[in-house]
Amino acid sequence: MSTKETSSIDKFADEIIKFDNSYQELDRIYLINRIRSLVGDECDINGKSLLELRDALIQTAIKNKKIEDTATDKEILGDQLMNLLTPMPSYINQKFWNLYQKSPIDATNYFYDLSRKNDYIKTRAIAKNLSFETKTDYGNLEITVNLSKPEKDPKAIAAARNQVQNGYPKCQLCMENEGYLGRLGYPARSNHRIIRFTLSGETWGFQYSPYAYFTEHAIFLAKTHRPMIINQHTFSNLLEIVKQFPQYFVGSNADLPIVGGSMLTHDHYQGGRHQFPMMKAPITKEIKLPFENVYGGIVKWPLSDIRLISDDPDQLVKAATLIHNTWMNYSDESVDIRAYVNGTRHHTVTPIAYRDGDNYIMDIVLRDNQTSVKYPDGIFHPHKQYQHIKKENIGLIEVMGRAILPARLKSELVEVEKYLLNESNDIAQYHKKWADELKSRYSFTAENVEDIVNSETGLVFSHVLENAGVYKWDETGQAAFDKFIASLNVVK
H helical segments located in 65-135: 71-83, 89-102, 104-117, 123-126
pLDDT at 263: 85
pLDDT at 3: 43
Computed over every residue of the chain, the mean pLDDT equals 93
pLDDT at 482: 96
pLDDT at 355: 97
Q: Is there a contact between 181 and 190 (Cβ–Cβ < 8 Å)?
A: yes
pLDDT band (50, 70, 90) for residue 43:
confident
Q: Is there a contact between 273 and 473 (Cβ–Cβ < 8 Å)?
A: no
pLDDT band (50, 70, 90) for residue 491:
very low
- The DSSP call for residue 92 is H
In sequence order, the 6+-apart residues with CB closer than 8 A to the CB of 122 are 148, 210, 211
- Does the pLDDT at position 21 exceed 90? no
Report the percent of the chain where pLDDT is more than 70. Answer: 94
pLDDT at 157: 53
Strands 130-136 and 139-145: antiparallel
Q: Could you tell me which of 120, 11, 8, 7 has the C-alpha nearest to residue 56?
A: 8
Distance (Å, rounded) from C-alpha 348 to C-alpha 150? 27
Distance (Å, rounded) from C-alpha 189 to C-alpha 149? 16
- Does the pLDDT at position 158 exceed 70? no
DSSP string, 18-59: HHSSS--GGGHHHHHHHHHHHH-S------SSHHHHHHHHHH
Mean pLDDT (whole number) for 174-183: 96
Distance (Å, rounded) from C-alpha 207 to C-alpha 177? 11
Q: What are 284-310's pLDDT values in tens digits?
A: 999 989 998 999 999 999 999 999 999
pLDDT band (50, 70, 90) for residue 167:
confident
pLDDT band (50, 70, 90) for residue 337:
very high
Window from 11-15, 206-210, 433-437 with minimum mean pLDDT: 11-15
Helix, coil or strand: residue 480: helix
Mean pLDDT (whole number) for 300-323: 97
Window from 22-26, 390-394, 438-442 with minimum mean pLDDT: 22-26
Type of residue found at 21 = N
Helix, coil or strand: residue 298: strand
Q: Is there a contact between 317 and 239 (Cβ–Cβ < 8 Å)?
A: yes
- Does the pLDDT at position 251 exceed 50? yes
Q: Is there a contact between 204 and 266 (Cβ–Cβ < 8 Å)?
A: no
pLDDT at 492: 41
Q: Could you tell me which of 137, 212, 216, 207 has the C-alpha nearest to residue 174?
A: 207
Q: What are 345-373's pLDDT values in tens digits?
A: 999 999 999 999 999 999 999 999 999 99
Helix, coil or strand: residue 223: coil
The Cβ of residue 459 has, within 10 Å, a number of other Cβ atoms equal to 18
Strands 283-288 and 359-368: unpaired
Q: Inter-axis angle of helices 28-39 and 71-83, to 10 degrees?
A: 170
Mean pLDDT (whole number) for 263-269: 93
Task: Give ∠ CA 477-482-483 in degrees, rounded to 5.
Answer: 95
Region of residue 300 (left: phi > 0; alpha: psi -120 to 50; beta: else)? beta
In sequence order, the 6+-apart residues with CB closer than 8 A to the CB of 147 are 125, 128, 129, 130, 407, 410
Q: What are 403-424's pLDDT values in tens digits?
A: 999 999 999 999 999 999 999 9
Question: From the DSSP assignment, how many helices (H) and strands (E) are in the chain?
Answer: 16, 15
Long-range pairs of 371-379 with CB within 8 A, sequence gap ≥ 24: 371/258, 372/336, 377/154, 377/258, 378/258, 378/259, 379/336
- Does the pLDDT at position 1 exceed 70? no
Sheet holding 249-251, edge to edge: 195-199, 202-208, 218-222, 268-272, 249-251, 347-356, 359-368, 305-310, 295-299, 283-288
Q: Is there a contact between 15 and 28 (Cβ–Cβ < 8 Å)?
A: no
pLDDT at 323: 97
- Does the pLDDT at position 152 exceed 70? no
pLDDT band (50, 70, 90) for residue 149:
low
In sequence order, the 6+-apart residues with CB closer than 8 A to the CB of 425 are 415, 416, 418, 419
